[in-house]
Structure 1
Amino acid sequence: MSQINESAIKTPGVYVNEIPSFPPSIAQVATAIPAFIGYTQIAQDMRGNDLTNKPTRITSMLEYELYFGKAQPETNIVINYDQTTVGKTTTDTISIEFDGNKSKHNMHSAVRFFYANGGGPCYIVSVGPYTDIDSGGLELTDFYDPGTGNGLEALAKEDEPTLIVFPEGQSMPENSYYSLLNQALAQCGSLQDRFCIMDVYDTGETLVTNSDVTTAISNFRNGFASENNNYGAVYFPNLKTTYAYDYDPASTTVNHTVDGAAGPLDGHTLAEIGTLPAPLSPPDSPPAPPSYYSLSAYNAIKQALSSQFPVVLPPSPGVAGVYASVDASRGVWKAPANVGLKDVFATTFQVSDEVQGDMNIDATSGKSVNAIRAFTGKGILVWGARTLDGNSNDFRYISVRRFYIMVEESARKAANVFVFEPNDGNTWVKVRAMIENYLTNLWRLGALAGSKPEQAFYVKVGLGQTMTFDDILNGRMIVEIGMAPVRPAEFIILRFSQIQQQA
């Protein structure tokens, strides 16, 4: 807005002075912009520029595939195709398994899972191309290597991301995974503008008893120590999704039996079965079209690969989508829990009330682990809302920590306009009014507890309140803000009693 110094006018004429009508205000920052860090098939933009270790903003799955490609095809899938004939009835039984390693890379499916659960804009940090399926674990130095500016370090330079997710962390060596989580939490605590969504290292696929789960959770809790635990939350177990594995038909072997003996398709790859001619074709005749028998088997196997062999994913990408969905519909102050996960039909381990009790509250370390649970008639729900600082009265809950991140970041950016302004009463009034207006709007939306604004928050700034003469002489303007954020009703207790008949 243009203003004229009226005392400096010397030339006759008409001058227009625009007077500010509204006080400065706080623009609320975004709260659910995750950054996914991991490996991708490719990493280049439309001009062919390399996007490796360059945080790239996308808004859809289409954009992801345009810049970062597809999933890595599996090469170690074995199909057991058994046919049994009793009388005139033939029964086909198809089972599928991995004979060797499966791909360690799930970024493509993870981003798809994020969007299925309400995700919006996000960042992709590609740390390199897919590694060989039969190679060892993923390297920590690809994700974090001080001084190289790759992976996590590259993300530190971006201001917009507010969530950090490592979909492929479970494919790293266990100690490397914990080191990475420590660095991620350190970045969150240093920048104070982001939050880390984690997964327990054990996927839950091989766990059988409650004791197994207790051991897996204990290993996770003992694996790392951080002073910034309130900037992270962890979820368990992994999830069986409705997605199918990408696979290479030329590397997918079929074991075929007919009534216990080797069948005509035995030993062939899936690609070959789709093109096998009728077995009675003359040897010197032109190539015959695929036989009905082989095509029928091919289609049955393809169907089984889609329906019987689901992609198993860590919960963090889907939970990031839940964060985005809840933030958009209710606000960041609403706990991202008691929300159903989409594109999921089962968990890798059925968490019981007893197991969740130990996961939820840990008197020793305070590292709460949030459960993903299946409930009859309700689906697969996020059933926990605690940070890794579960023993803290300040930031025990995810919603409280993320609400403070939002308010702190929004107020910090808005206060930039007052840098180098006179440190006097006029400026103090403007700053206090700006923050009070912002917090009043949040109180009206239900983010702050209290029947009146003065019960929900306070803002103090001024000489004798938050500053001394020494502060003013040294150029410091100190603003103190207190808030009463709403907290989730984690335990609802209904008390019933009998009363005497009155008449």
Structure 2
Amino acid sequence: MIARVVHAKAKESFMAASVTHPGVYVEETFSLRLTVSSGQTAVTAFIGDFAGLPTGGVRVNDWLDFTKLADQGAKGEVRQALEPVLKGYFRNGGGHCYLVSTAGSTLGEALEAVTALGDVTILVAPGLWSQAAKSAGEWARALTGWAADNKAMAILHTDRDHTPDQASTAVDAWDLDERVRPFAAVYYPWLQQTADTEPVVPSGAVAGAWTAVDRDRGVWKAPANIVLRGITGPLHTATDTDQGAHLNLNFIRTFPSAGTLIWGARTRSETDEWRYIPIRRLVSVVERDIQAALRFAAFEPNTAPTWELVRAAVDNYLHGLWRQGALQGNTLQEAYFVQVGKDITMTENDIAAGRLILKAGLATMRPGEFITLQFTQETAQA
């Protein structure tokens, strides 16, 4: 119920209809509306041994924010560990991010802090290879597992001196489970950054480029064939043969008259559905947005009016994505579907138990071939 207080000097049309003498008038209106809002798609958390930072993480809005943070107190470690990485991140379009330290805590505790932040969708570990290869594998599995559980992505990288063959072998040795493989992307090689003498990991600049693509085009646009700013070139040169032989890596390459480009957009998955970064990220975004909107149904009766409200809101949301070019198909029927209702997605037992079940299909690769998502929301029982 929404109560609206209207002063006697309100709009003339309202006065003519309902105001007969000076005073304060209350008009009560009721409107149950549901919309599916688009959340942020590219919020990065940089995680590592950053001594001196708060254990719960600190937000950094831009490069100036970082320099102020690094200059406060005895935080030379922060500047040393993060300045080259964040320089590449912000130069290439990165937005607000978080710095989450494992200093004085475990990696698991740091990931719990990332969860508590609430809006992180990308994980980057600049010091992934600062210890032995075994440690890199443990970190890669932990970060990718968190990403899978939270519909996010882990942007990972190979070691500084790896050749393409060594990099590919090292990444395979992580032995990522197929459940989590779609939520990880690996980049090769390290980069030479303008005005820096030491090479830098590629994941910071890549995360910035992902953010810029999301902002300018949309999460469904492949983050590839993108010029990296502030980069003089990759540390190691790769060829078409290297790239063809190592499909588990996303290469960064320099081309004549084009500059240094991100030249790959693959996840670690080998399945057709989840092989490409924009498909996995788009579906994750849709899941997060719809799940957030469905929370309203927890206190609504599990009846036909509620189902229609939900169906219309999700249909409107997916229609908007289709109009922006996120989904395949020349018609709505080819691009997506939304289903909810008795004997459609729910049985009598589901309804009696207060389970509202929605199914949505997205044509992300070919028109009429859908990735189907199912959402279940506990509601007030009918």
The match for 1:217 is: 168
Q: How many residues align?
A: 345
TM-superposed deviation, 1:66? 2.4
Percent of aligned positions with the same letter in both sequences? 32
Alignment of 1:374 with 2:254, yes or no, is yes
Question: For 1:170, what is the secondary structure of its paired residue?
Answer: coil
Supply the AA of the counterpart residue of 1:18: T
Give the Cα–Cα distance (whole angstroms) in 2 for the partners of residues 384 and 434 of structure 1.
35
Alignment of 1:403 with 2:285, yes or no, is no
TM-superposed deviation, 1:64? 1.7
Give the Cα–Cα distance (whole angstroms) in 2 for the partners of residues 352 and 143 of structure 1.
39
* CA contact 2:141–2:174 (8 Å) conserved in 1: no
Cα deviation 1:206-261 (Å, max 9, x = unaligned): x5xxxx421331122123322301011000000011133xxxxxxxxxxxxxxxxx
The match for 1:154 is: 113
| 301, 308, 322: which one aligns with 1:429 | 308
* CA contact 1:39–1:107 (8 Å) conserved in 2: no
* CA contact 2:3–2:26 (8 Å) conserved in 1: no
Alignment of 1:384 with 2:252, yes or no, is no
Supply the AA of the counterpart residue of 2:246: M
The match for 1:26 is: 36
The match for 2:376 is: none
Cα deviation 1:268-301 (Å, max 9, x = unaligned): xxxxxxxxxxxxxxxxxxxxxxxxxxxxxxxxxx
Question: For 2:194, what is the secondary structure of its paired residue?
Answer: strand
* CA contact 1:239–1:312 (8 Å) conserved in 2: yes
Question: For 1:321, what is the secondary structure of its paired residue?
Answer: helix
The match for 1:331 is: 218
The match for 1:181 is: 140
The match for 2:2 is: 2
TM-superposed deviation, 1:486? 4.8
The match for 1:299 is: none
Give the Cα–Cα distance (whole angstroms) in 2 for the partners of residues 486 and 332 of structure 1.
14
Unaligned runs of 5+ in 1: 5-12, 44-50, 75-102, 129-140, 245-309, 361-367, 488-503
Please show how residues 63-78 of structure 1 align to structure 2 within 5 Å.
63-69=65-71
Give the Cα–Cα distance (whole angstroms) in 1 for the partners of residues 316 and 148 of structure 2.
28
Cα deviation 1:328-351 (Å, max 9, x = unaligned): 000000000000111111211111
In the superposition, relative to structure 1, how do residues 15 and 61 fare at CA in structure 2: closer, same or farther (>3 Å)? Answer: closer
Give the Cα–Cα distance (whole angstroms) in 2 for the partners of residues 407 and 319 of structure 1.
23
TM-superposed deviation, 1:127? 2.8
In the superposition, relative to structure 1, how do residues 352 and 432 fare at CA in structure 2: closer, same or farther (>3 Å)? Answer: same
In the superposition, relative to structure 1, how do residues 109 and 240 fare at CA in structure 2: closer, same or farther (>3 Å)? Answer: same
Alignment of 1:235 with 2:156, yes or no, is no
Give the Cα–Cα distance (whole angstroms) in 1 for the partners of residues 132 and 202 of structure 2.
19
Cα deviation 1:2-55 (Å, max 9, x = unaligned): 169xxxxxxxx97622243x8321111101100001233643xxxxxxx1x212
Alignment of 1:196 with 2:196, yes or no, is no
Supply the AA of the counterpart residue of 1:311: E
Supply the AA of the counterpart residue of 1:64: F
Question: For 2:99, what is the secondary structure of its paired residue?
Answer: strand
Please show how residues 88-103 of structure 1 align to structure 2 within 5 Å.
none
* CA contact 1:106–1:313 (8 Å) conserved in 2: no
| 100, 112, 122: which one aligns with 1:125 | 100
| 16, 37, 43: which one aligns with 2:27 | 16
Give the Cα–Cα distance (whole angstroms) in 2 for the partners of residues 442 and 220 of structure 1.
34
Question: For 1:477, what is the secondary structure of its paired residue?
Answer: strand
* CA contact 2:129–2:135 (8 Å) conserved in 1: no
TM-score by length of 2: 0.85
The match for 1:351 is: 238
Larger relative contact order (Cα-Cα within 8 Å, sequence gap ≥ 6): 1
TM-score by length of 1: 0.65
* CA contact 1:41–1:72 (8 Å) conserved in 2: yes
TM-superposed deviation, 1:157? 2.1
TM-superposed deviation, 1:174? 1.1
* CA contact 2:47–2:100 (8 Å) conserved in 1: yes
TM-superposed deviation, 1:191? 2.2
Question: For 2:27, what is the secondary structure of its paired residue?
Answer: coil
* CA contact 1:243–1:311 (8 Å) conserved in 2: no
| 469, 483, 489: which one aligns with 2:362 | 483
| 431, 442, 445: which one aligns with 2:321 | 442
Cα deviation 1:401-439 (Å, max 9, x = unaligned): 110111110111111111121111100000000000000
The match for 1:451 is: 330
TM-superposed deviation, 1:153? 2.8
Pick which of 30-39 and 56-65 moved more. Answer: 56-65
* CA contact 1:336–1:399 (8 Å) conserved in 2: yes
Cα deviation 1:46-93 (Å, max 9, x = unaligned): xxxxx1x2122221122123234499879xxxxxxxxxxxxxxxxxxx
Question: For 2:166, what is the secondary structure of its paired residue?
Answer: helix
Give the Cα–Cα distance (whole angstroms) in 2 for the partners of residues 104 and 218 of structure 1.
32
Question: For 2:2, what is the secondary structure of its paired residue?
Answer: coil
| 119, 122, 126: which one aligns with 1:167 | 126
* CA contact 1:104–1:168 (8 Å) conserved in 2: no
Give the Cα–Cα distance (whole angstroms) in 1 for the partners of residues 298 and 212 of structure 2.
35
Please show how residues 218-297 of structure 1 align to structure 2 within 5 Å.
218-226=169-177, 227-244=179-196
In the superposition, relative to structure 1, how do residues 447 and 123 fare at CA in structure 2: closer, same or farther (>3 Å)? Answer: same
Supply the AA of the counterpart residue of 1:321: G
Supply the AA of the counterpart residue of 1:371: F
* CA contact 1:347–1:374 (8 Å) conserved in 2: yes
In the superposition, relative to structure 1, how do residues 107 and 142 fare at CA in structure 2: closer, same or farther (>3 Å)? Answer: farther
TM-superposed deviation, 1:143? 5.2
Give the Cα–Cα distance (whole angstroms) in 1 for the partners of residues 164 and 88 of structure 2.
25
Question: For 2:354, what is the secondary structure of its paired residue?
Answer: coil
* CA contact 1:143–1:180 (8 Å) conserved in 2: no
In the superposition, relative to structure 1, how do residues 15 and 119 fare at CA in structure 2: closer, same or farther (>3 Å)? Answer: closer
* CA contact 1:195–1:232 (8 Å) conserved in 2: yes
Give the Cα–Cα distance (whole angstroms) in 2 for the partners of residues 153 and 440 of structure 1.
35
Question: For 1:314, what is the secondary structure of its paired residue?
Answer: coil
Question: For 1:346, what is the secondary structure of its paired residue?
Answer: strand
Give the Cα–Cα distance (whole angstroms) in 2 for the partners of residues 109 and 143 of structure 1.
24
Supply the AA of the counterpart residue of 1:2: I
